[in-house]
């Protein structure tokens, strides 16, 4: 559901004959005037509750790596979707992520603290973080492990559009098992993101920028991005997390070879 519009604080009462001005309502802690009151409900409340629970329950850790995406950008125009357009970079990354989760299934799981169990999931519902006018939502591609790059591209485009126009369903927003977060579209390079509870990991992608890079002993301009993985330390240690992150990074740096193996 759409978040309710901000409820602006009522204007100050008109001055009476005994006063020349009436001070606006003030915040008791800072003494500053209150500009607006925004009810914490709808999507914003759901996001707040999920993130608060994630921070309270999950002992998370973050690891990251800078990646040379030059060859991937060069290959992308040759990878066309069902509509004839090049598939989105997010769809290519999604394919690498799904393949990585098949090799490191510990990251495609959830923790049941009451039962004292880690539940490993058979199959991937891949969440795609989307910033909308209603707030941050994470619709998921059902059975992403069964889709190729074109299928992933089609579903990601559909879900992103549905998230932004408000037609995404509650099921699509709550069934994810792992999240891919492209915060590079916000113009940032990296982020220590909060895991989308009750998932146990999230892969983030920063913006792609031309940077000096050493190739065969020479400094040359290359297209570099940062991948960051935040993970629940209860389900695995750094070796597993680093292995997954390195798998995706290697696929980005050698996409033709990676796609041939998928």
> Which pLDDT does position 24 carry in this prediction?
57
Q: Which of 27, 83, 165, 237 is catalytic?
A: 237
**All domains in the chain, ordered by first residue:** 60-261 (3.30.559.10)
pLDDT in tens, 69-105: 999 999 999 999 878 889 999 999 999 999 999 999 9
DSSP annotation string for 132-175: ETTEEE--EETTGGG--HHHHHHHHHHHHHHHHHT---HHHHH-
Verify whether residue 145 is a known catalytic residue.
no
pLDDT in tens, 151-206: 999 999 999 999 999 999 999 999 999 999 999 999 999 998 999 999 999 999 99
Contact 109, 121 (CB under 8 A): yes
Joined tokens for residue 155: 């579903």
> Which pLDDT does position 9 carry in this prediction?
36
* pTM for the predicted model, two decimal places: 0.85
Q: Which of 27, 112, 165, 233 is catalytic?
A: 233
Contact 73, 224 (CB under 8 A): no
Residue 130 CB partners (closer than 8 Å, separation 6+): 136, 137, 138, 139, 159, 160, 163, 164
Verify whether residue 26 is a known catalytic residue.
no
Q: What are phi and psi of 79, to 5 degrees?
A: -100, 90
Q: Taking CA 200 as the corner, what is the angle to CA 192 and CA 96, rounded to the nearest 5 degrees? A: 80
Contact 138, 163 (CB under 8 A): no
Rounded mean pLDDT, 211-218: 96
């Amino acid at each position: 559901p759409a978040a309710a519009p901000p409820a602006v604080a009522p204007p100050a009462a008109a001055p009476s004959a005994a006063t020349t001005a009436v001070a606006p309502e003030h915040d008791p802690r800072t003494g500053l005037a209150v500009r607006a009151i925004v009810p914490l409900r709808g999507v914003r409340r759901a996001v707040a509750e999920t993130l608060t629970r994630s921070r309270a329950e999950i002992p998370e850790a973050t690891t990251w790596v800078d990646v040379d995406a030059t060859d991937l950008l060069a290959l992308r125009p040759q990878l066309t979707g069902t509509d004839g357009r090049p598939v989105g970079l997010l769809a290519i990354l999604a394919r690498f992520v799904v393949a990585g989760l098949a090799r490191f299934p510990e990251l495609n799981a959830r923790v049941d603290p009451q039962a004292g169990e880690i539940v490993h999931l058979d199959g991937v519902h891949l969440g795609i973080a989307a910033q909308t006018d209603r707030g941050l939502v994470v619709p998921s591609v059902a059975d992403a492990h069964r889709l190729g790059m074109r299928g992933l591209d089609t579903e990601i485009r559909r879900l992103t559009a549905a998230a932004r126009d408000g037609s995404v369903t509650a099921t699509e927003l709550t069934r994810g098992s792992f999240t891919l977060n492209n915060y590079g579209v916000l113009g940032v390079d990296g982020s220590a993101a909060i895991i989308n509870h009750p998932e146990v990991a999230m892969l983030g992608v920063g913006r792609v920028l031309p940077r000096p890079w050493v190739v065969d002993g020479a400094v040359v301009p290359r297209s570099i991005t940062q991948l960051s993985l935040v993970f629940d330390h209860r389900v695995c240690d750094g070796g597993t997390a680093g292995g997954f992150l390195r798998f995706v990074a290697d696929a980005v740096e050698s996409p033709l070879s990676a796609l041939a193996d998928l």
